[in-house]
Structure 1
Amino acid sequence: MDIRAMFMGLAFALMWSSAFTSARMIVADAPPLTALALRFLVSGMIGVAIALALGQSARLSRAQWRATVIFGVCQNALYLGFNFVAMQWVEASLAAIVASTMPLLVALSGWLIFRERLAPLAYAGLIAGIVGVAIIMGHRISGGMDLMGLAFLGIGVLALTFATLSVRGASSGGNLLMIVGLQMLVGASLLAVAAVALESWDINWTPRLGLAFAYTTLVPGLLATWVWFLLVARIGAVRAAAFHFLNPFFGVAIAAALLGESLTLWDVAGVVIIAGGILAVQMSRVARTT
């Protein structure tokens, strides 16, 4: 892995993790599904416009169209939709921790559903991840954590896991920014329907809302997704996914710094164990492909 790939991976992890804090700011002043639909509409239009200006085409391969639709539905509409709704009731740090378990769920699903053989290091990583999650959830549930919010976070990360398992070939064949933009528009269309059916237009216009919306739209929404596809195209999905072990650290740290969310020693211990489990699983996959 070269230096450029390292910086791309670190940048992606930081941008991806920061989205939970900015989302928490947004849902404090705006209905979650409406805000998310608008975010994807703006991000998608910008992404498609830039892609066209760069000479990219919407003539995608069959695998790319499949990836575009699946990620638009599962990642943008379901995963982020449930996360935005949940963050009306749960802290951004918890949302970041739950979402960061996706690599563990992918490995666990591959073992249980597809009968993939795992290396001993991967089994150790799965066990560590389960222990870390149990530590954090046990402590927070006893402290009165909202169980409906937790359930929504769980549904969201399962949708993201399904998308990750289902899609292959999205980063090959070029037109990466076009794919990113079209995914955003797919998510926007589905979320708009849900927002009209379930929410009222009740927004508290504040400077923080404007800044958080602009940041979420441009940085985690558009730039991070584009960087992810470039990283996968450069070093492969297995090696790129290793950077997910940074997400629990970054997500919790950013939420604590910007939102003042409190952290206990149980939270810190759980985050360290989960991150170690993710790293072990991903390193075992890297070793298997070399």
Structure 2
Amino acid sequence: MDMRAILMGLAFAVMWSSAFTSARIIVAAAPPLSALALRFLISGLLAILLARALGQSWRLTRAQWRATVIFGISQNALYLGLNFVAMQTIEASLAAIVASTMPLLVALSGWLFLGQSLRPLTLLGLVAGFAGVALIMGSRFGGGVDPFGLALCVGGVIALTVATLSLRNASSGGSFLMVVGLQMLVGSAALFPVALATETLQVQMSPTLVLAFAYTTLVPGLAATVVWFYLVDRIGAVRAATFHFLNPFFGVAIAAVLLNERMGLLDAVGVAVIALGILSVQLSRLPAARPRSG
């Protein structure tokens, strides 16, 4: 893995992790589903315009359209929608920690439902990852965590896990940005009716809200996706996924710095254990190096 790939991976991890802090700022001043639907609408249109500028077509195959709709609903509408609603009552750091367990849930589900074998390093990573989560949850429940908000985060990461498993072999056919943009529009279309039916459009306008909304739309919403695409193209999906082990650390650290969210000793230990668990699971999937001939 060369230095450029490492820098790209670090940039992706920081941008992805920071989305929880900016989302926490947004939902404190605006209806969560309405704000998210508008964000997807803007990000989706920008991605499609960029894709067209790069010569990508929106004429997708049936399999690509199926993948676009499934992922648009599962990842954008369900996963992010549930997280945005949850962060009205729980801290951004806790939402980031729950979301970061997705690679662990994918590996566990592959073993339970798809008959995939577990290497010893994978099993060790799963045990460590879930032990870290249990450690953090035990300390947070003593501080009055909202159970309903936490349940929404768990439901969101399960939806993302299902989407990841169902589309693990899907291909964008060279139209990656176009598919991403269309997925965002699908998420926007799914969220707007729910937002109109359940939310009152009351917004506390401020420079902070505008900045947070612009940031989450352009950086985690669009720029992180572009960086991820080039990273996967450069080093492959499995190696790129090892950078997910940084998400618990960055998610908690960014929330602590920008939102003054507390981070106790058990939180720090739990985050470290989860990160090592995710790293172990991802490293166990790396192909063995071929011996050099001669």
TM tier relative to shorter chain = over 0.9
Matched, 1:65 2:65: yes
Query: How far does the alpha carbon of each residue in 1:105-126 deviate from its partner, in whole angstroms, 9 at most, with x for none?
Result: 0000011111211110110000
RMSD: 1.4
Which residue in the other structure is 2:233 paired with?
A: 233
The structural deviation recorded for 1:226 is 2.3
Deviates more, 1:44-53 or 1:15-24: 44-53
Aligned-partner Cα distance in 1 for 2:130–2:187: 31
Q: In structure 1, the residue corresponding to 2:262 is in which secondary structure?
A: coil
Instruction: Note the C-alpha offset of 1:235.
Output: 2.2
Post-superposition Cα deviations, 1:9-41, rounded to whole Å, max 9, x if no partner, equal 111111000000000000000000000000000
> Tell me, what secondary structure is at the counterpart of 2:286?
helix
Alignment map for 1:137-156 (pairs within 5 Å):
137-156=137-156
Paired position in structure 2 for 1:45: 45
Q: Quick one: distance in 1 between partners of 2:156 and 2:143?
A: 23
1:240 Cα deviation after fit: 1.4
> Which aligned pairs between 1:10-159 and structure 2 lie closer than 5 A?
10-159=10-159
CA shift, 1:142, in A, is 1.6
- Summarize the alignment of residues 219-230 of structure 1 with structure 2, pairs less than 5 Å apart: 219-230=219-230
Q: Using a 3 Å threshold, how does the CA distance of structure 1 residues 66 and 7 change in structure 2: closer, same or farther?
A: farther
Residue equivalent to 2:5: 5
8 Å CA contact retained: 2:31, 2:201: yes
Contact 2:28 2:88 in 1 (8 A): yes
Give, in whole Å, the separation in 1 of the partners of 2:78 and 2:201.
21
Aligned length: 290
* 1:52 to partner: Cα distance: 1.3
Aligned twin of 2:167:
167
Tell whether the 8 Å contact from 2:30 to 2:202 is kept in structure 1 after alignment. Answer: yes
Tell me by how many angstroms 1:239 deviates. Answer: 1.3
Deviations 1:181-228 (A, max 9, x none): 111101000010110111011111111100000000000011112222
Q: Distance in 2 between matches of 1:36 and 1:5?
A: 30
For residue 225 of structure 1, give the secondary structure of its aligned residue in structure 2: helix
Give the TM-score normalised by the residue count of structure 2.
Answer: 0.95
Matched-pair contact (CA < 8 Å) for 1:171–1:229:
no
Is this contact kept in 2: 1:9–1:240, CA < 8 A? yes
**Pair 147,279 (structure 1): closer, same or farther in 2 beyond 3 Å:** same
> What is the percent sequence identity of the aligned residues?
68
**Residues 180, 222 of structure 1: 8 Å contact kept:** no
Which stretch shows the higher mean deviation, 232-241 or 177-186? 232-241
**Unaligned runs of at least 5 residues, structure 1:** none
Once superposed, which parts of structure 1, at least 4 consecutive aligned residues long, lie more than 3 Å away?
168-172, 287-290
* In the alignment, structure 1 residue 250 sits paired with structure 2 residue 250: yes
Tell me by how many angstroms 1:171 deviates: 5.0
Task: After superposition, give the CA deviation of every residue in 1:92-111 in whole Å (9 maximum; x if it has no partner).
Answer: 00000000000000000011
Cα displacement (A) at 1:289: 8.7
Whether contact under 8 Å (2:172, 2:179) holds in the other structure is no
Checking the alignment, whether the CA contact within 8 Å between 1:74 and 1:159 is kept in structure 2 is yes
Separation in structure 2 between the aligned mates of residue 285 and residue 63 of structure 1, nearest angstrom: 26
